[in-house]
């Protein structure tokens, strides 16, 4: 196989300045990107039994994005003893 020469693409500085935030500040419950502040909420425990649609109130909050990550616990007894 012949090696192809790669053509260098010039950096578009104007585009880079347009899409790069002016500053990022990260605190324990908020992230500020440029002039926009985002509040972070973290829930680490849920009841073992819930009703159908229990997440609907969270999902429908105005200007919110909800991400649900479920991590199964393989050894429950070791987990309980550790915590």
**Each residue's pLDDT tens digit, 25-37:** 888 888 888 788 8
**Each residue's pLDDT tens digit, 41-63:** 777 777 778 888 877 877 777 87
Range of the domain at 69: 13-82
Domain count, the chain: 1
Is position 4 within any domain? Answer: no
Check whether 1 has a pLDDT greater than 70. Answer: no
Residue with tokens 């899409």: 19
pTM: 0.38
Share of the chain above pLDDT 90, in %: 0
Is position 20 within any domain? Answer: yes
Is position 59 within any domain? Answer: yes
What is the Cα–Cα distance from 76 to 73, expressed in whole angstroms? Answer: 6
Is position 7 within any domain? Answer: no
Is position 8 within any domain? Answer: no
Nearby residues of 64 by Cβ (< 8 Å), 6 or more positions away: 58
Is position 68 within any domain? Answer: yes
Is position 75 within any domain? Answer: yes
Is position 77 within any domain? Answer: yes
Question: What is the full DSSP assignment across 17-83?
Answer: HHHS-S-EEE-SSEEEETTEEEE--------SS--TTTTHHHHTSTT----------S-HHHHHHH-
Confidence at residue 83, expressed as pLDDT on a 0 to 100 scale: 65
């Amino acid at each position: 196989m012949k090696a192809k020469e790669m053509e260098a693409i010039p950096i578009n500085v104007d585009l880079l300045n347009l899409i790069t935030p002016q500053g990022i500040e990260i605190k324990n419950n908020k992230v500020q990107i440029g002039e926009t502040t985002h509040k972070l909420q973290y829930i680490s425990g849920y009841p073992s039994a819930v009703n159908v649609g229990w997440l609907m109130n969270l999902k429908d909050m105005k200007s919110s994005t909800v991400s649900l990550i479920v991590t199964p616990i393989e050894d429950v007894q070791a987990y309980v003893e550790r915590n």
